[in-house]
Amino acid sequence: MKIGTSLRSTYPVADPREGARWMVERAAAAAAAGLDSLFVGDHHATGPLSYYQNSPILGRLLVEWGSNPAGALYLLPAWNPVLVAEQVGTLAALAQGPFVMQCAVGGGAQMGAMGAPPKGRAAVFEQHLAVIRRLLAGEEVDGVRVAPVPAQRIEVWIGGHAPPAIDRAARLGDGWIAAPWATDEEAAEMAAVYRKACDEHGRPPKAVVLRRDVHVGGDEAEARRVAQPILEGGYRGMDPAATVVGSPDLVAERFAGYAAMGYDHVLVRHLADDQKEVLASFARLARVRELVRGL
């Protein structure tokens, strides 16, 4: 079981430099804890909240990162595929280790703001992904080439939770990312659906990934002190059962349970706002990694 992080990118700050600094500090904390991967998300038209856009912020975060895999999410129907290929090619050149492109169809008002079609976005997603892969392989597409291209093949992890999206990930992706809102029972069911789809398409999965919103405390009481008010406030509209809150031992036990479901990678996003608490939770994830490997 690998443990990585998908950093939160939205911060309600008066000075936008503060949120950017927090992301840099969190990336450094993830590296210090020895986490296995580092990712950032993709969202648009978020004002008035500051959302630090994926390509430029990841370029800065890679300075803090090591040689473990890193990457970014791209909601492909909202992007020109040539631009994505250029951004990914440049980021892969900055990364010391493997680069992973996460991608999804996306939804909500942000898609219209970015010029994505109101219908048929799944087909657009597949068309854009095919173009991006060819461009990153150094091919010419409709008279267009991009450079730099990655020195090694880019892995593609596809997110989604509806049956067609899971099947798409099995058919086209190198990995699949399960939604963070899924309870443990739902996560187990979706992992089984994904693995069955992989069998049907004759494509063994390389990465079966679960997103989880977490807080790791020094002990149970400390973890609940930080997380309980946030969860009681309706955190992201999620079922609290889909979050992971507790001591390193309890968190490791939950993560080991995901391995038993068939997941081989957990991506954590911290649910606390307080930077000091988040950095302390990151530090405790080092112990969680040790415990998971010993179970």
Chain segment 147-162, per-residue pLDDT in tens = 999 999 999 999 999 9
CB neighbour class for 233 (10 Å; exposed up to 12, middle 13-18, buried from 19): exposed
- Asked if residue 176 has pLDDT above 90, the reply is yes
pLDDT at residue 221 in the model: 97
* CATH classification (class only), 2-294: alpha beta
Give the pLDDT mean for 219-223. 97
For 56-76, how does the pLDDT look when each residue is reduced to its tens digit (9 = 90+)? 999 999 999 999 999 999 999
**Domain map (residue ranges) of the chain:** 2-294
Gap between the Cα atoms of 103 and 121, Å rounded: 13
Gap between the Cα atoms of 203 and 185, Å rounded: 25
Q: How big is the chain by its Cα radius of gyration, in Å?
A: 19
Contacts of 157 (CB under 8 A, 6+ apart): 71, 100, 101, 102, 103, 169, 173, 174, 175, 176, 177, 207, 209
Residue 102 · residue 39 · CB < 8 Å: yes
- Asked if residue 294 has pLDDT above 90, the reply is no
Tokens of 96: 């010391």
- The pTM (predicted TM-score) of the whole model is 0.96
- Asked if residue 295 has pLDDT above 80, the reply is no
